[in-house]
Chains A and B, each alone.
Chain A
Amino acid sequence: MGLLQVIARFDIVQIGPLTIDLEELGGALGDASQDKTDKIHNQKVVYSSDAVVVFERAAHIARRDNSPKVGLVHLLVAFAYEDNGLMAQLKEKYGFSGMEWRSALSKWQPISFDKGQAGSEIGAGRKSPMEFNQKQFFSPDEAAEFLDVHTQTIRGYIRTGKLPALRLAGERALRIQRDDLLALLEPYKPEEK
């Protein structure tokens, strides 16, 4: 689920022809999922032997792919072989096989695994101020980078109506106008004592 959240946009994962709604999936998982989340936050989580197998499989796939690093896509492909847990639920709910999952991933452009980790390379792919100065419309990710906040914050603002967003006709993609982003900023007034 964590991997899917990394690649989700507005709780939607789009991999080739497959569209997975994480919000709906979370609801379908129900209380059990919530329990699991609580468990993750409150207890030490140890990788199970099943997870160890998935990591090794991902390393094997990356090696076969002649990739110097194990990427997010390799980990996602490694899950194609799983018939338990979340993967089993995804296969049942969306009616795809492991083969179809791998096929969808092969056509999908992944983001680097490292980029999503702990921020060791945060900023490496950042746009220069000049690039931002010329832009009038921003994707949610770019808007987050522009204001130096998390994408989830931008998503929250859009959901609550604090930040207007436009939808490209017939598409899922959202765009935010530069002026609307700037309008979020207000002068800081120190509290009167």
Chain B
Amino acid sequence: MGCYVVIRHLPGITPEALTGAGLRAKSCATEMTEEGTPIQWLRSFFIPETERTHCYFEAPSADAVKEVNERANIPFSEIHEVQELVPDAL
């Protein structure tokens, strides 16, 4: 399992639309996990100044992350595997 970031540019997005997208991501991740592809939406950060979000997923592959976002109908521009650094581990 790897950690992936999904970068989106969502100009003019409303708080409701962000919440709706989060709900869809959550339900599609559940659906894919039940189907045998374990995937989890970890958390997202929305940067109001740039209207971009960075959404983090734990998944077996970048393709799985792509699929969950397509199923949830949430636009994205980039998907990258990331290396996680946490203060407690250092």
Contacts and interface: CB of A to CB of B under 8 A. Distances in A.
Contact of A52 (B14, B20, B26, B67): B20
A73 interface: no
Contacts, number: 54
Given A47-B71, A48-B73, A49-B73, A118 B19 contact: no
Given A55-B20, A59-B16, A46 B70 contact: yes
Given A60-B16, A117-B30, A118-B33, A55 B71 contact: no
B84 interface: no
A63 B19 CA distance: 10
B23 A51 contact: no
A70 B19 CA distance: 8
B23 A55 contact: yes
Interface string B1-45: 000000000000011110111011011111101100000000000
A44 B67 CA distance: 9
Given A52-B24, A118-B34, A47 B72 contact: yes
Identify whether the interface residues of B are mostly helix, strand, loop, or mixed. helix
Contact of A56 (B17, B27, B30): B17
A56 B71 contact: no
B40 to A, nearest CB: 9
Contacts of A49: 73
A49 B72 CA distance: 10
Interface in B54-85: 67, 70-73
Contacts of B16: 56-57, 59-60, 63
A105 interface: no
B6 to A, nearest CB: 16
The 4 closest A-B pairs by CB, nearest first: A55-B20, A59-B19, A118-B30, A56-B20
Interface of B: 14-17, 19-21, 23-24, 26-31, 33-34, 67, 70-73
